[in-house]
Amino acid sequence: TVAGAAAGLIEWKPAPYSVEAITGTFGQLDIAGALRLGLLEIVFVFLFVDLFDNIGTL
């Protein structure tokens, strides 16, 4: 990107900021749903996979 900009190959076209572009997803985070048992299972799976992977390399 830096080399292309230095060579004049990149054309900058700034787009205007639109608030409507984020209204579909802003504030839609479901924290209570993320903290259910399913997340805990995924955390333990990653924990033990990483643990045994690192133990095997020692």
Between 48 and 5, the more confident residue is 48
Q: How many domains does the chain have?
A: 1
Task: Give the pLDDT score at 33.
Answer: 82
Instruction: Say which amino acid occupies 23.
Output: T
Euclidean distance between CA atoms 15 and 8, whole angstroms: 20
Domain housing 6 = 2-57
**Which pair of tokens denotes residue 55?**
């133990």
Q: What does the pLDDT look like over 10-44, one tens digit per residue? A: 887 777 767 777 777 888 888 888 788 888 899 99
Q: What does the pLDDT look like over 42-53, one tens digit per residue? A: 999 999 999 999
**Which pair of tokens denotes residue 5?**
């900009």
Q: What is the 3-state secondary structure (H, E, C) of 1-32?
A: CHHHHHHCCCCCCCCCCCHHHCCCCCCCCCHH
pLDDT exceeds cutoff 80 at 55: yes
Taking a C-beta distance cutoff of 8 angstroms, is the pair 1, 10 a contact? yes
